[in-house]
Amino acid sequence: CVRSNSNRAAVSHLHRQLYGRLYPVLLVNTDGSTVRLRYREPKRILMLPLDSSTLPEAERKARLRRQFPTKPKAKEEETFKGIDLDTYKQFWKK
C-alpha cells in the first residue's frame, strides 16, 4: 500500500516532471522596455533576441563586427637596415 500524503515527500524526492513554483523574472524587450513576469527557472533577467532584419544596414554591420571581431594583424618586425649606427655611438659602452 502506497501512502499518498504530505509526509511522503520527506522520505524521497518528488516524482514529477514540472514543478509548480514560478520565479519572478525581469523580461527585457528589444526596444528596452521591461516587464516583470513569473518564469519556471530561477533567473534574474531574460532578454528577447533582436531581429536584425529590422535594423538599418549600418547598425546591422556594426553589430556583426562587434559580435565577430577580426583577428589581429601580424606586426612587421623592425629592421636595422636604414639606421645610421654612428648617431648612437655615444650610448655604447667602451
Q: Show the beta-strand stretches assigned E in 9-94.
A: 23-28, 34-39, 45-47
Instruction: Scan for cell 655604447, then name that residue.
Output: 92
Does the pLDDT at position 83 exceed 70?
Answer: yes
Residue 60, Cβ density class (10 Å: 0-12 exposed, 13-18 middle, ≥19 buried) = middle
User: What is the pLDDT, as a whole number, of residue 36?
Assistant: 93
pLDDT tens profile 24-70: 999 998 888 999 998 888 889 988 888 888 889 998 899 888 888 88
